[in-house]
């Protein structure tokens, strides 16, 4: 599809190759493909044929929607890298400077990145256009949930919010539901069994979605740059309102609490990051999040093992649960 779109639009103006080729590279060269995987096993688990073109199209839709979310997320967060490379908005800002173009490089780069994200969103919708009405309704709802969660994340970051309840709500709506629960629902709906299976799939997807985001939070604070493709402590510089930070702020006192007040500054040095990480450990916040991930994942696995889906799908979803909970990137 992307190859065809590049051919179509470069016939009009060869300048259009740049954003479309950037999107093609972004989608095809990296990523964990988690959302298509969960959608696939929701479909197969409900009795769908894995060679059915509808599930292939849905997987493509989820990857393009993820591209939209990540490209826009990097603009909102001011992130310089993604998957170990320059973020899209930074790459186009660099191109602006290198070509000696008029205006502000930052605004040019961010403007192009927003448009590339918008294209990804439109192409994602194109792949879902022929889906059954209940699958399309879930697709519409998950996109609203994703944007609601993203807004809460942006506001929480700006307010330096450390409320644990709100941090968990952000984790659930910005990432958890969209990554696991809703793709499972779309898969079951495409197989015609959403109403029969959605509760059983939610009993697995809801806790595992939270565990996924909690692991993401830990990787954002402690992850190895060579694995995550993001600088060590990047979420600490951005001041993300995570449950990890909320727990540490509840428990810290004196100098430790003063250190946590530095979170959200893009001028945090490597030494500052190390000291903040030590507070996250010494307050027990890291250990509590790890214990919560274990508890949520165990609950999810127990639920899917008794769900009325195919044995093959149940086994695959257990494997996926173990992967998303204890991954290193």
pTM of the model: 0.94
Residues 303 and 321: their CA atoms lie apart, in Å, by 11
Place of tokens 């590339």: 116
Compute, in degrees rounded to 10, the torsion defined by CA atoms 205, 207, 212, 215.
-170
Q: Is the pLDDT of residue 227 over 90?
A: no
Least confident of 80-84, 86-90, 134-138, 176-180: 80-84
pLDDT at residue 224 in the model? 82
DSSP 269: -
Q: Is the pLDDT of residue 193 over 80?
A: yes
pLDDT at residue 152 in the model? 96
pLDDT at residue 293 in the model? 97
The alpha carbon dihedral of 124, 307, 45, 322 has a sign of positive
Extract the runs of DSSP E, i.e. beta strands, from the chain. 81-82, 85-86
Residues 42 and 197: their CA atoms lie apart, in Å, by 9
Answer for the pair 131, 190: CB distance below 8 angstroms, yes or no: yes
Angle between helices 17-28 and 2-10 (to 10 degrees): 170
Least confident of 29-33, 180-184, 274-278: 29-33
Mind listing the pLDDT tens digit for each residue in 42-72?
999 999 999 999 999 999 999 999 999 999 9
Which positions ≥6 away from 145 have C-beta within 8 Å?
A: 173, 177, 178, 182
Read off the pLDDT of each residue in 135-156 and give the average, rounded to a whole number: 96
CATH code of the domain made up of 31-324: 1.10.600.10
Domain ranges of the chain: 31-324
Which is it for strands 85-86 and 81-82: parallel, antiparallel or unpaired?
antiparallel
Q: Is the pLDDT of residue 266 over 80?
A: no
Read off the pLDDT of each residue in 225-244 and give the average, rounded to a whole number: 87
Q: What is the DSSP string of 187-217?
A: HHHHTT-HHHHHHHHHHHHHHHHHHHHHHHH
Read off the pLDDT of each residue in 160-165 and give the average, rounded to a whole number: 94
């Amino acid at each position: 599809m992307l190859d065809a779109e590049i051919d179509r639009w470069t016939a009009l103006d060869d300048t259009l190759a740049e954003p479309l080729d950037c999107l093609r590279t972004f989608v095809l060269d990296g990523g964990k493909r988690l959302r298509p995987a969960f959608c696939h096993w929701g479909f197969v688990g409900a009795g769908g044929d894995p060679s059915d073109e509808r599930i292939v199209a849905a997987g493509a839709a989820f990857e393009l929607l993820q591209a939209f979310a990540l490209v826009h997320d990097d603009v909102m967060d001011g992130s310089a890298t993604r998957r170990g490379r320059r973020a899209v908005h930074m790459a186009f800002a660099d191109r602006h400077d290198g070509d000696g173009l008029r205006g502000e490089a930052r605004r040019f780069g961010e403007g192009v990145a927003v448009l590339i994200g918008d294209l990804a969103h439109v192409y994602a919708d194109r792949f879902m256009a022929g889906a059954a009405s209940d699958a399309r309704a879930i697709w519409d709802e998950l996109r609203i949930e994703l944007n609601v969660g993203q807004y809460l994340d942006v506001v929480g970051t700006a307010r330096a919010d450390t409320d644990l309840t709100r941090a968990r709500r952000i984790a659930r709506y910005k990432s958890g539901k969209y990554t696991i629960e809703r793709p499972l629902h779309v898969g079951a709906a495409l197989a015609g069994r959403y109403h029969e299976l959605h509760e059983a799939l939610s009993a697995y997807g809801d806790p595992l979605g939270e565990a996924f985001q909690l692991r993401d939070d830990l990787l954002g604070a402690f992850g190895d740059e060579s694995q995550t493709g993001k600088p060590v402590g990047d979420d600490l510089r951005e001041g993300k309102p995570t449950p990890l930070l909320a727990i540490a702020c509840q428990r810290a006192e004196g100098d430790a609490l003063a250190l946590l007040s530095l979170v959200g500054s893009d001028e945090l040095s490597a030494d500052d990051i190390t000291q903040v990480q030590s507070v996250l450990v010494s307050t027990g916040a890291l250990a509590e999040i790890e214990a919560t991930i274990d508890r949520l994942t165990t609950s999810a696995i127990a639920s899917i093992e008794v769900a009325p889906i195919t044995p093959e799908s149940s086994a695959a979803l257990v494997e996926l649960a173990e992967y998303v909970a204890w991954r290193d990137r």
